[in-house]
Amino acid sequence: MSSSIDVVTHTLKWYQENGVEFTDVVLLQPTSPLRQKSSITGAWELYQESAVDSVVSVCEVEHPIQWTYKIDNNGFMCNLFEEHDKRSQDYEKQYRLNGAIYITSAHSLLVKNTLISTSSSVAYLMTNELSVDIDNIRDFELAEFYLSNPYNNT
C-alpha cells in the first residue's frame, strides 16, 4: 500500500521526467469532506504570505496529550509524560493535524520527502467540526451528522 507522500512524490517525478515543473503542491485528501472552500483559500493565502516551506491544517485537540498513556503487555498503564495530572484547562492549548489541507513547495517535498517541514511550517487553524477525518464508520456518521444538521456552521 502506498502513502499519500509516495503518490505525490511519484506524480511530481513523473511530470518532471515529462518536462513539466511545479513550484507548489496542494494535497486535499478525500477523507476530509467538511473542508470548505474558504479554508483552502485561507490556507493558500497564508502559504503565500508566510514564505515558508509548508502550511498544514490543524485543529485543537479534544484532550491534553499529557493524558495519553501506553498499556504494557500486562495491561498496566504507563505514563508517556511526566506531567499528567493537571486539569485540562491548566494545560497550554495543543493542536493536531486534521488531514484536510497540506500545502508545500514541490522542491521541499522532493528533497525532504515530507508534506510538513518541521523547520518551516505554519499551521492553518480549522474548527473541530470542520476537521472530521473519515477513517472508520463512526467518523463517517459524524460527518453525515454535521452535513445534515441545519444548525451547524459547515
The secondary structure of the chain, three-state, reads: CCCHHHHHHHHHHHHHHCCCCCCEEEECCCCCCCCCHHHHHHHHHHHHHHCCCEEEEEEECCCCHHHCEEECCCCCEEECCCCCCCCHHHCCCCEEEEEEEEEEEHHHHHHHCCCCCCCCEEEEECCCHHHCCCCCHHHHHHHHHHHHCCCCCC
* 4-60+94-148 belongs to CATH 3.90.550.10: yes
Q: What is the pLDDT of residue 150?
A: 66
Of the pLDDT bands very low, low, confident and very high (cuts 50, 70, 90), residue 152 is low
Q: What is the pLDDT of residue 153?
A: 55
pLDDT at 30 over 90: yes
Mean pLDDT (the chain) is 91
Q: What is the mean pLDDT of residues 119-148?
A: 93
- Domain boundaries along the sequence of the chain: 4-60+94-148
User: pLDDT tens across 64-80, in order?
Assistant: 888 888 999 999 998 88
Location of C-alpha cell 470548505: 36
pLDDT at 151 over 70: no
